Amino acid sequence: MDIKGFFRKALGKTKDLIAGAFQPELPEEVYAELEDRLILADAGPATAAGIIESIQSKKPATVETLRGHFRSAIRERFSNSAAPIFALAPPTVWFVFGTNGAGKTTTAAKIASFYKSQGSTVGLVAADTFRAAAIDQLRVLAGRAGSEFYAMEEGAHPSAVIFDALSDKTIRSCNLVIVDTAGRLHTKTSLMEELAKMTKSCEKTAPGALTERLLVLDGTAGQNALVQAKTFHASLQLTGLIVTKLDASAKAGFLLAIRQDLPGVPVKWVGVGETLEDIAPFDPDAFVDGLVGSGESVKVSE
């Protein structure tokens, strides 16, 4: 699937919801209708109002011009860079955090598979030691992704796993090491502190290696995902977001709210299914096409 097709699949449900506002005639109520639909798609009232205001001020005469202004308003929100960050010298270490079941383990393996297919060596580290099943899940996925794998026993201290993994010759010699962590509620302060300790353990063991602190968000969570992102960011200084399960969501509008509330934390990857191939780096143009339908953006100066 090409990148545009991927994002069409990811955003189809949300687009169906929003695009209903674009009727061939441009009635008086179009702005209220579009605003309502944005809110239904979980963009949040403030973000929806901001987008509508910016479109309305341009006084579009036709529905196609209106759609063009809408595209521009969305595209502007994704203008900062979303490219993944690598360390100056290998290994690069990325952490994945998130609430229970958000898709962390699957996503870690998907990213491993993505870079493996580009010729990199990747190590997956099982720092979710709560359940033996979590370790086994990552072991199986690492096998499928063609990655190295590192785990200790169930119940091991996650910071110790990171220290040992990064002291291990095979893991240390990988280009990229992805650390899978246990799911946790963002409201549990002690568990959030544990994540901060894990990142410190990494910084001590492999200085300069940790470049990405990625929060995995369940795309069906809508506005709840926004609350999670704010809390995780406050504790962990996130470098990026990964949004999963968009294929099953009509609430992708929350990504617009996240751009408004957390402008320094770009979306870096998007997941649309359960297989290792169901992931793509975030592409702002494909995102806009997926959400609004293809067409020309109207220049801001018009």
Ligand X SMILES: Nc1nc2c(ncn2[C@@H]2O[C@H](COP(=O)(O)OP(=O)(O)OP(=O)(O)O)[C@@H](O)[C@H]2O)c(=O)[nH]1
Tell me the closest approach of the beta carbon of residue 33 to Mg ion, in angstroms: 40
- The site for Mg ion, by CB under 5 A, has a size of 2
Please give the Cα distance from 289 to 68 (Å, whole number): 11
Tell me the closest approach of the beta carbon of residue 177 to ligand X, in angstroms: 17
Which residue in the block uniquely carries the two structure tokens 């529905």?
A: 63
Residue 105 sits in the site that holds Mg ion (CB under 5 A): yes
Strands 279-281 and 267-271 come out as antiparallel
Tell me the closest approach of the beta carbon of residue 97 to ligand X, in angstroms: 9
Please give the Cα distance from 149 to 83 (Å, whole number): 25
Residue 12 sits in the site that holds ligand X (CB under 6 A): no
Please give the Cα distance from 44 to 248 (Å, whole number): 19
Residue 133 sits in the site that holds ligand X (CB under 6 A): no
DSSP 236: H
Window 257 to 286, contacts with ligand X (CB under 6 A): 271-274, 278
Please give the Cα distance from 28 to 32 (Å, whole number): 9
Please give the Cα distance from 87 to 214 (Å, whole number): 15
Residue 244 sits in the site that holds ligand X (CB under 6 A): yes
The contact mask relative to ligand X for 183-212 (x = CB under 6 A, - = no) is x-----------------------------
Residue 252 sits in the site that holds ligand X (CB under 6 A): no
Of residues 162, 149, 145, 135, the one with CA closest to residue 111: 145
State which H helix or E strand residue 35 sits in. Answer: helix 30-40
Residue 244 sits in the site that holds Mg ion (CB under 5 A): no
Residue 136 sits in the site that holds ligand X (CB under 6 A): no
Window 70 to 109, contacts with ligand X (CB under 6 A): 98, 100-106
Q: Which residues make up the interface to Mg ion (CB under 5 A)?
A: 104-105
Which residues of this chain interact with ligand X, rule CB under 6 A? 98, 100-106, 128, 134, 183, 244-245, 247-248, 271-274, 278
